[in-house]
Structure 1
């Protein structure tokens, strides 16, 4: 992520986030009152509904918090490394340890969640994250920093799978799509609005103080989920799986998840569209956006960071709008195709205005549209996965999905970097070549467009 905590535009964007987040919580409160206050509901049913909404909010907060902890290294790791006299290359290596364990463990936690339930899985993983924060708070060598980063990645990757699994098991199909939009909007807001608060906390409490607080909060949420695991929908099912976990069962579950995906062409198409579109926007948002904007405008780094932040703004607000849209159109193939076409068109707009050397305003607007339509499409994809996947295998399928996203992300980021190196940078400014960006992301758009084309070969995305 490329954000800066000392420029005004980011504060304005964050203020907009706060209004949207407040509205979403008000909407959730209305939904809660609507379905917990009907006079024909018994007291027991009303209490059950109240608990369902409470735990949904708790899981969503856990997802937001996992994103906050995930990006904490962006703010805290550089000054920590500087205080220990660690080189920049070593900082990059230590930071990357997080993403290796984060990406690989998606499948592990997805399979575990199908067996043990969302409560226990998320609780255990957050306790691991709390231990990682405690290690980082006392870290004074590259080894301890590396261990802390690796454990952080392992502990934070389950939150998304668990909140999606709990929501699918607890709420009706009519409500699920909107709730997926809320999950993505609130959860991803942690990657945007947290930079400035973390920076301020770092100045006030120091590195050890910040990591201690982050660890304590993670420990509290994780422990509370373990205590409340008796409310897990999986434990309330009559056909719950009592067999213990083992390596052979873990491998068998992964194979079954892969067979389910490959055996259903509509599900495979949904997975491919989500993987390619997510890896595409993440490659832009998380790696090249700022430098590409600098190449296009020749502007300063702070102004380029402010402009790039609008991509993230779209990524947050898109799922919120997508939740309302998908709630009305459900598994409509036509609506899904239109969403994906809008994603592709918004990408083409971004590349066109970049090629033409447009200013910050037009780049920011096109970046916002790219993030917005991508985020809205993700809600449709999430809703379709719930409809097309047997409930017993939801966690495993989501885990495999995230593993594929991470794999494609690595390929896309490495591939764009490789292509940029083929073209000489500007000798005066040192900026990368605009031609390199156009070719690199042009190839990505062809891959993404092919996955969207497969939608036309599918009859329906409804269960």
Structure 2
């Protein structure tokens, strides 16, 4: 259990390398090779990865060990994970924190950061992409650092509280610096710190889910939590899109800046409100499988 956050952090670090590539490097590739060629290449790479997983599935240690605990049907696993989530107060509290944190991050880094930088500072697309990339780099560094911070389950709650509160504080500073149009390195550096705190948080929330799962059922429980987390991403991205359009309906560059300030002021407020869940979380150092 004490190594779970470490391996989660390493996995997230490698996985979030894609988020780094998807901003400035992708912008360069689109300009250089065109959208059609870039997306054909991405599709081919994904098919190659999928084929590799199918070909190498016989080398899965769970399968070769004859472990039947993970061989339940997909629907059964999904039903079981949903049942546990809805019955567990701690899992629901973690879902509030996780969903709000990840949804807000994806609305910013994954959708609007480049356009917001362009609107607020009048910089080029390439320059805005570079500053936006600092957010995803921060997530990677946070994932890596979180792998080494507070590994034991008895420190899990402290790690979650500190990283979540720091994430909320970073949102406040980032929003104020963009709203006040402070020199662009200021929101750039704060954006890195915002991503860093998010990265540490995700390591320990993932490990916390494993702490609360019955042995051999951590994967299905994490899958159920992840489903709801990505629903929150859909809500945040579509919701911010609606608000930006609504607030900038009067047209003009100044209206768009005000739209971003208002929209992400609401996002910042939601992140702060979600922190109300923290005082109600219990320690994760108790016996595995106690999800109440």
TM-score (norm 2): 0.83
3-state SS of 1:433 partner = helix
Q: 1:188 — aligned with what?
A: 16
- 2:236 is aligned to 412
1:234–1:240 contact (8 Å) kept in structure 2: no
5+ residue gaps in structure 1? Answer: 1-172
From 193, 216, 221, the counterpart of 1:397 = 221
Cα deviation for residue 367 of structure 1 reads: 0.8
Paired position in structure 1 for 2:49? 218
Equivalent residue for 1:240, pick from 69, 80, 88: 69
Partner Cα distance (1:361, 1:447) in 2: 25
Q: TM-score, normalised by structure 1?
A: 0.54
- CA RMSD between the two structures: 3.0
* Structure 2: runs of 5+ lacking an equivalent: 287-292
Q: Is 2:29 the partner of 1:199?
A: yes
1:335 — aligned with what?
159
Q: CA deviation at 1:300?
A: 2.2
CA contact (8 A) 2:167 2:197 kept: yes
What is the CA distance between 1:416 and its match in structure 2?
A: 1.6
Q: Which residue of 2 aligns with 1:45?
A: none
Name the SS for the 2:269 alignment partner: helix
Q: Secondary structure at the match of 2:284?
A: coil
CA drift of 1:431 comes to 6.4
Report matched runs for 1:119-138 at 5 Å: none
Partner of 1:462: 285
Is 1:388–1:462's contact at 8 Å kept on the other side of the alignment?
A: no
Higher RCO structure, 1 or 2 (CA under 8 Å, sep 6+): 2
* CA separation of 1:318 and 1:215: change in aligned 2, threshold 3 A: closer
Q: CA deviation at 1:263?
A: 2.0
Larger radius of gyration: 1
Q: Number of aligned residue pairs: give it.
A: 281
TM superposition shift of 1:311:
0.7
**Correspondence 1:451 to 2:279:** no
Q: Give the superposition deviation at 1:177.
A: 1.0
Deviation of 1:235 after TM superposition, in Å, equals 4.4
Corresponding position of 1:385? 209
